[in-house]
Amino acid sequence: MRIISGIVAFAVAFAPVTGAAPAHAASRIKDLASIEGVRQNQLIGYGLIVGLNGTGDTLNNIPFTKQSLQAMLERLGVNVRNQTMRTGNVAAVMVTANLPPFGTQGTRIDVTVSAMGDAKSLQGGTLLVTPLLGADGNVYAVAQGSLAISGFSAEGDAAKVTRGVPTVGRIANGAIIEREIEFALNRLPNLRLALRNPDFTTAKRIASAINDFIGSATAEPIDPSSVQLTVPKQFAGNVVALLTEIEQLQVEPDIPAKIVIDERSGIIVMGRDVRVSTVAVAQGNLTVSISEAPQVSQPAPRSRGTTQIVPRTRIGIQEDGRKLALVREGVSLQQLVDGLNALGIGPRDMISILQAIKAAGAIQADIEVM
């Protein structure tokens, strides 16, 4: 049976919007902005996993695994050049990690291990010593240890079951930091706060809150995403104490009205400041159903007729007509949702309605389609 659906009716009328938006809850500066320079750094390395139960790379198909295994054995004094190797217990992997800010030598960090070749599973494997490089090519950590994976794979002659991703695993505290990144935070004369959600009003409010706390004009917004802070004399050489006090200050962030739509999954997210003019919306579905039920026609006994298939087609048409739903001027987010829900429609039809209201100029918000 085939179903053909379409939107039949849609009408919009609009008027100017009035009314103030409700206030947001205050948040800490710690949750609104980060300190420039206090950041993680990504590390990457190439290594070998050994100890697999025949689920590793096929050496004849994956040349880089074979070359790496030969080079490693030669460094250990084992000559395997021009020798045939058929082990399935080795796999080439990429190792990734994040170097935390102010990470000191000897500190351990977690690493993620991902197969590169045709290994079926990394379960039970052990990562051999793997240097982890930064973007500048220097070694900042060394990883090694037993791998833990959350997925598994099992198969027989006629069936196969796979749960999760058995070719990706994690080693908790699997790398040791060998090199520190120099960053003298306490000796900085100036700091810059980077807003996680850039906004002119929020940046101004953060600067005002800091200046009110310090008692002088030490903070200044320089763009929607940055606030420049001059370290006061009483905190010279003790920037950590200054940041500890500033992070706890409460600021009310200003968020622009926005509607985010994911058409692939039908997800709609609307901010609390979304406002609409007075709109009237009508929506209906026209459904045409076509079903095929062919019948077999048999000839009469002792006749010279032949068996024939006679087509039988049934067509049904149903139209769901709904009345206009009124969404009044300057309503709250809850009232807007209730007005759209009154139409009895699904998320995908609601996406089309919101886009049509925006096209008519009756919705005061940006629509972002993911």
- The Cα 288–Cα 4 span in angstroms is 5
- 239 shares a domain with 218: yes
pLDDT at position 41 is 93
Count, residues in the chain: 370
State pTM to two decimals. Answer: 0.67
The encoded tokens of residue 97 equal 């990690």
- 225 shares a domain with 136: no
pLDDT 10s digits, 158-205: 677 777 788 999 999 999 999 998 888 888 899 999 999 999 999 999
315: in domain: no
Mean pLDDT value across the chain: 81
Mutual angle of helices 239-247 and 200-214, in 10-degree steps: 120
Task: State residue 69 phi and psi, 5-degree precision.
Answer: -65, -40
310: in domain: no
147: in domain: yes
- 148 shares a domain with 106: yes
Band (pLDDT 50/70/90 cuts) for residue 320 is low
DSSP label at residue 20:
P
The encoded tokens of residue 365 equal 């918000």
303: in domain: no
- 98 shares a domain with 69: yes
> What is the span of the domain harbouring residue 93?
41-177
pLDDT 10s digits, 237-288: 889 999 999 999 999 998 888 888 887 777 888 877 777 777 666 666 545 4
307: in domain: no
Last residue of a domain, one of 177, 193, 220: 177
- 173 shares a domain with 60: yes
Contact 147, 113 (CB under 8 A): yes
- 193 shares a domain with 126: no
Last residue of a domain, one of 118, 151, 177: 177
- 337 shares a domain with 281: yes
292: in domain: no
Counted domains in the chain? 3
Last residue of a domain, one of 116, 151, 177: 177
Query: What would you measure as the largest C-alpha separation in the chain, in angstroms?
Result: 115
* Lookup result for tokens 């298939």: 309
162: in domain: yes
34: in domain: yes
